Amino acid sequence: PSLATVLRKNVIRLDVEVLNNAVTEHGEVVDFVDDLSSWAGTTIAGAGDHIVSVAGVRLDDLIDDTVDLVKVNIEGAEFEVIPTSQKVVSVKTVTGEIHAPPDSRETKAVLDSLVGFGVDAVPITGGCFTQFVAVREAASSAPTRSEPQASEASADGTPAS
């Protein structure tokens, strides 16, 4: 949560809106451990931690038809958020971190939910987590440039049949 202020300063010249929210499945409030000594943060609290309650927001409430890229690093919420999102399939590219090893059942479930995407995934943090990039594949029914369409002319200038 304390990074939202830093991020706002870093993107001041860009057309970006910084929201200080936690992306969750249902938009519920999340108690977040704000590590004031580093960039790190987590949702797993310990004794003496600095706890900040953060308003939740559903991923589908953030996605409209103009989103090209979604980057997810949502501290374990990806297991519920990505598979239940109805709008993530409209995004061109989804990238992020999954808090499980690449060969785990949990990672497979998240990546399998990205239907219509080409997905690359690699282990990070000594194999404990997975970094992934999912790029929406072009619709297989879309015509290619080499396929003449009924409205195109043939090489001799007559309408194509």
pTM of the entire structure?
0.75
Q: What is the pLDDT of residues 77-89, one digit of tens each?
A: 999 999 999 999 9
Quote the CA–CA distance of 124 and 137 in Å, as a whole number: 25
Asked if residue 34 lies in contact with residue 1, where contact means CB atoms within 8 angstroms, the answer is yes
Q: Mean pLDDT, the chain, as a whole number? A: 82
Long-range CB contacts for residues 63-71, cutoff 8 Å, separation at least 24: 63/87, 63/88, 63/90, 63/91, 65/90, 67/91, 67/92, 68/92, 68/93, 69/93, 69/94, 69/95, 70/94, 70/95, 70/96, 71/95, 71/96
